[in-house]
Structure 1
């Protein structure tokens, strides 16, 4: 099968238009159209339904687009490995993690990473949906459970527990509960039970709800929960790693916490030799180790 025709087909399928594909490929619309017709003739199949508002893939076109999309991802992976030199870390690195961990832990630390690797471009995707690493939806992921996808290299970074925190102002105004039963006099701030979240956190929230808090504020991510705590709205259920960066928060009911949530870093096997991923992995591990040392130092004081 002609690679050039497949490249043009992929551009048309992705753009949904002969004109837009031609602009991307620096080809005329008529040249693109001729290549598509020739490909359809060689396959003996119609690849597009042609409408006034654009092109829609036929069933056969969808099958071919799935194949060219996979080929494109593999070629991008190969190109990324080729671009990684022995001495430099540059290019684009696509990182995915959860909204809470990404916005509250990772982003505030990236200044040091950019100082070391100023030519690196990071595309950070914060969402609860698990992206497909083997299909290169992202290069590297940090997730709150061990990834189940095949052909991934996995590294356990740390374990996290969900705990209860409140601001000093809130506790001065409302007092600190000494036993869980006293939550009936407080507002509980937590993730919405319907929002995607780690099962250990959901289980802890379900348990706390049995004590019938006086009021609740539910948010669909931990960033919102943290803002509620810092605004003195109530007692929040938050991951323990936030206590390092927000030391003004005070832990409430220290005997109450979730089961441990494992945090994993993962990336495709085919990117094992990537200098960019190695640099990012080593940076994250070093930051976690530094945080642990500081926490041990405070505990020893």
Structure 2
């Protein structure tokens, strides 16, 4: 394959181009596959097909993943511009829609998608049965500018000027384990009692350890013999007594198979934001779903409106 060519006279499949762009931005096929919610072999075939279609090599394999070739560096800017332009056209069309019926995509974390969204979506089906709903369950922040979703539920204020956000609730998280697990430990009472305890890790393990240690714990990687990137798997591992997990209080406090590890410790508090692109706010469909989420999420989380002042 060649290393460079004139892109001006080239047309190609957008799905393949998008696969290439996300792979370039994520730095590996595995990370890109997670971001796009597809199987890694499928993503790899799309990237390979694009290389064959264009007759160039776009990536070189390096020890840390993939590195763009000269041709890849040239192409990525063109594809990124195409994606942004396509997103603007799509959002402009959606924003001018006066009808409620149609498709809407909501992205949220795996935990929120599995436990928070279903009762709200049941209401939405009753209110607007003509809306087709796609839930993008991912702990990766999706790009609303590229229409990877219409509405996002996030735990941080949006910073991009094209996006609008509404602070709707406070969520809380704590450490949980099975009663039997805690009994075997002798019912720990302080963070110091957990120094030798088994924990279940999540992605960005070092960041998780630093965060817990900042809260008064003394943990290291040896405390995390089991680790997973999937939060639902993490939660089920805790429910089966494999170690101490961390999860939302609205879920853990209602689970008869789990108990707070240190019930006298203050839970971790964090905000819940609804985010959408500004242009989509002129869509009746998006407005209806956005407002329903804003109304129902606080009650499902048991959020105190006064607590939002701390995040404003």
Query: TM-score category by the smaller chain?
Result: 0.5 to 0.7
What's the counterpart of residue 112 of structure 2? 101
1:29-48 equivalences in 2 (<5 Å): none
CA distance in 1, matches of 2:234, 2:149: 27
Q: Quick check: 1:204–1:258 contact (8 Å CA) kept in 2?
A: no
RMSD: 3.7
State the SS of the aligned residue for 2:129: coil
2:152 to 141, 151, 154: 141
CA distance in 2, matches of 1:150, 1:207: 33
CA distance in 1, matches of 2:248, 2:301: 15
What's the offset of the Cα at 1:204? Answer: 2.0
1:182-261 equivalences in 2 (<5 Å): 182-184=193-195, 186-194=197-205, 203-204=211-212, 207=215, 210=218, 215-216=223-224, 217-243=226-252, 246-257=255-266, 259-261=268-270
Deviations 1:194-213 (A, max 9, x none): 48x8x7x8512665651579
What's the offset of the Cα at 1:282? Answer: 2.4
CA distance in 2, matches of 1:10, 1:115: 47
CA distance in 2, matches of 1:67, 1:185: 51
What's the counterpart of residue 79 of structure 1? 93
Deviations 1:238-289 (A, max 9, x none): 2223235535422221233454222211111111122222222222223223
State the SS of the aligned residue for 1:187: coil
What's the offset of the Cα at 1:227? Answer: 0.6
What's the counterpart of residue 55 of structure 1? 54
Q: Quick check: 2:153–2:273 contact (8 Å CA) kept in 1?
A: yes
Return closer, same or farther for 1:186/1:99 CA change in 2, 3 Å cut-off.
same
Name the TM-score, length of structure 2 as normaliser: 0.65
Structure 1 runs (4+) deviating above 4 angstroms are: 56-68, 205-209, 211-215, 292-295
What's the counterpart of residue 130 of structure 2? 119
State the SS of the aligned residue for 2:264: strand
What's the counterpart of residue 84 of structure 2? 70
Q: Quick check: 1:100–1:223 contact (8 Å CA) kept in 2?
A: yes
What's the counterpart of residue 25 of structure 2? none
Q: Quick check: 1:170–1:234 contact (8 Å CA) kept in 2?
A: yes
Q: 2:189 aligned with 1:178, yes or no?
A: yes
State the SS of the aligned residue for 1:253: coil
Name the TM-score, length of structure 1 as normaliser: 0.67
- Which sits farther off after the overlay, 215-224 or 139-148? 215-224
State the SS of the aligned residue for 2:159: coil
Q: Quick check: 1:185–1:213 contact (8 Å CA) kept in 2?
A: no
Mind listing any 5+ residue stretches in structure 1 that lack a counterpart?
1-8, 18-50, 296-301
State the SS of the aligned residue for 2:148: coil
Q: 2:302 aligned with 1:288, yes or no?
A: no
Return closer, same or farther for 1:282/1:248 CA change in 2, 3 Å cut-off.
farther
What is the total number of aligned residue pairs between the two structures? Answer: 249
Q: Quick check: 1:162–1:257 contact (8 Å CA) kept in 2?
A: no
CA distance in 2, matches of 1:186, 1:264: 34
What's the offset of the Cα at 1:179? Answer: 1.8
Return closer, same or farther for 1:56/1:265 CA change in 2, 3 Å cut-off.
farther
What's the counterpart of residue 281 of structure 2? 272
CA distance in 2, matches of 1:61, 1:212: 43
Mind listing any 5+ residue stretches in structure 2 that lack a counterpart?
1-8, 18-49, 57-70, 305-312
